[in-house]
């Protein structure tokens, strides 16, 4: 019981101590007159990057006031730009979940395609076996709509051969 009480007290203390940290100013910079400014908002664009004393760890990097050299078109074509990392833990979590969902979707699609290929292979094997039976001259009987067995005649066998070859050509590549 004492251990649980101590753990609860420690967790509560940590939570209470963490509250003032989030309320503190996260940005600090010197304004044009040299006076220190503290804020939870980023400084205005007129403040130079060298005048920023403190910024949040997850804050996006400020662009330098001097424009950088523009890359050439051939350099852009060879090296794609690296994706920017999300600034907050929440954005990183959302991005991670999106990546996981994309991976799960890709795995499901690959499994579906594999199952479809297996079904197509089995269907092709049945069609080829039926074609061999038709070409072998074996007597083949089909059951009609009335439930009666009919033996294929020469004309029906030729039509069935043609239909089966067409299905093989269309579905078995």
pLDDT in tens, 7-19: 777 777 766 666 5
pLDDT at 21 over 70: no
146 confidence band (pLDDT: 50, 70, 90): very high
What residues contact residue 28 under an 8 Å CB cut-off, 6+ apart?
Answer: 36, 37, 38, 39, 52, 53, 54, 55
Least confidently predicted of 26-40, 55-69, 81-95 = 55-69
Domain range annotation of the chain: 24-57, 120-171
pLDDT in tens, 53-79: 888 876 555 555 555 455 555 544 555
Whole-number Å distance between alpha carbons of 46 and 69: 21
What is the radius of gyration, based on Cα positions, of the chain? Answer: 37
pLDDT at 34 over 80: yes
């Amino acid at each position: 019981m004492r251990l649980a009480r101590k753990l609860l007290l420690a967790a509560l203390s940590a939570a209470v101590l963490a509250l003032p940290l989030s309320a503190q100013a996260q940005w600090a910079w010197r304004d044009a007159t040299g006076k220190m400014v503290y804020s939870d908002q980023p400084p205005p664009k007129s403040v130079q990057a060298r005048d920023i004393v403190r910024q949040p760890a997850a804050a996006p990097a400020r662009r330098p006031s001097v424009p950088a050299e523009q890359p050439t078109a051939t350099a852009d074509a060879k090296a794609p730009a690296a994706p920017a990392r999300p600034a907050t833990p929440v954005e990183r979590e959302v991005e991670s979940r999106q990546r996981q969902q994309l991976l799960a979707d890709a795995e499901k699609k690959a499994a579906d395609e594999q199952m479809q290929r297996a079904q197509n292979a089995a269907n092709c094997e049945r069609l080829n076996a039926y074609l061999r039976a038709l070409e072998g001259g074996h007597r083949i009987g089909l059951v009609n709509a009335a439930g009666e067995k009919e033996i294929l005649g020469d004309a029906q066998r030729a039509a069935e051969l043609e239909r089966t070859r067409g299905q093989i050509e269309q579905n078995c590549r």
